Amino acid sequence: MRTIFHLDLDAFFVEVERILDPSLRGKPVIVGGDPKYGRGVVAACSYEARAFGLHSAMPIRTAYKLCPHGIYIHGSHGEYSRFSKAVKRILEQYAPVVEQASIDEFYMDFTGCRNIYGSLFAFASFLQKEIRQKLSLPCSIGIGSNKTIAKIGSDCMKPCGITYIIPEMGKEFLAPMPVETIPGVGKVMLKDLNSKGIFKIGDITKLPQDYFATAYGKYGIDLYRKACGKGSEYLTVQWEQKSISHERTFADVTSKEFLKEKLFYLTGKVCHELREMDWQVATVSIKLRYSDFKTLTRAKTIKPTDDDEEIFEVAWDMMTKAYTRRIAVRLIGVRLTNFSNCSEQEELFEWTEIKRRRMLKVVNRIRYKYGYDSILIGELKRTGEIDKHPNYFQA
């Protein structure tokens, strides 16, 4: 039987901000977009802000209406990365295997370590105190026989909680919980499950697995297994990133200028990540979904680059050629694949390319410290919206 820990740093961005500025303690703090411009979403919020109904991914405009007296900050993104790495270093001192799932989530495999550390619950408490004493960060820990159970467990007693799920009791533990507790159940899936009379996780296990396999294919089988308390028992500690992608769903639109603005923004996001990896890309793909859910994808191979402008021109050309129906668009996305290392290409760059790459790296450093929206690049100006942003510049 495996022993998996899931450690989740509670309100991580907010707690880092409070370390940097202790005057924020006890106050409703919201990290994310600027409500003055109504752009962006809530990246994180303190428990004081959550009392007003705020939550992660909420539009910043909505958050401001619910909590106008809150303290809204862009965030110190470089500091978040620094503290995250410090947490991982502490965990690696004790866990044989550590998998970092995100900047504030970690899985640990302590299988066979009971004779070393004794009580799992007591050792989880020790880890909490170690991170609190050394980094002043609170965390919650879930302990289970697989990653799914451990992750759900860490959410049960927030903040600063510890939940240990007895291996044989996983199914019973999950049964009374809302079905959206299962990782991967989003708004669309939740609505569909509710329409079938499925509201609790236990409602899933009352039906045969074949029902979900027929309704949802492989995803349905995975959903049923998770509802039964099953999940991945082994951690992934090394993996090769095959692609970088961003997409955006919105209310049905027909304006090509609107689509162009959103595609440029998404292209900037993927290019930002590309440069963080010090990679170039040779294949650009776009995704277009109409309001009737018909979905098209297009791809093109180009000379390796990490330049927003070049990649956007290719993506927009494919998007305009793909958008041929007189029907509203529901989703667009851009995806990069086929990577190469920039250092392997440097001797091929012209001087103008070198200067532009240096400029884009400076942009990355600014965004790393102050957030992506702290500086925006120029093509969007022609839409008439982005030029109002105080951090806009023409590249």
Q: Which two tokens stand for residue 338?
A: 């086929």
Angle at 183 between CA 179 and CA 186, to 5 degrees: 70
> Is residue 303 a contact partner of residue 282, using CB atoms and an 8 Å limit?
yes
How distant, in Å, are the alpha carbons of 68, 91, 250 from that of 63? 8, 34, 19
3-state secondary structure of 150: helix
Beta strands in the chain (DSSP E): 4-9, 29-32, 42-45, 71-73, 97-102, 105-109, 139-144, 162-164, 243-253, 279-290, 295-305, 329-341, 376-377, 392-393
Give catalytic status of residue 105 as yes or no.
Answer: yes
> Is residue 377 a contact partner of residue 268, using CB atoms and an 8 Å limit?
yes
Closest Cα to residue 105, out of 49, 71, 147? Answer: 147
Q: Which of the residues 17, 99, 105, 379 is marked catalytic?
A: 105
5 DSSP β-pair partners: 108, 143
Q: Which two tokens stand for residue 149?
A: 């159970």
CA distance 279 to 222: 34
Tell me the CB-side half-sphere exposure of residue 376, using CA atoms within 13 A.
19
Chain-centroid distance of CA 339 in Å reads 22
Cis peptide before 159 (omega within 30 of 0): yes
Number of H helices, E strands in the chain: 15, 14
CA distance 8 to 139: 6
* Locus of tokens 């410290």: 369
> Which residues carry out catalysis?
105
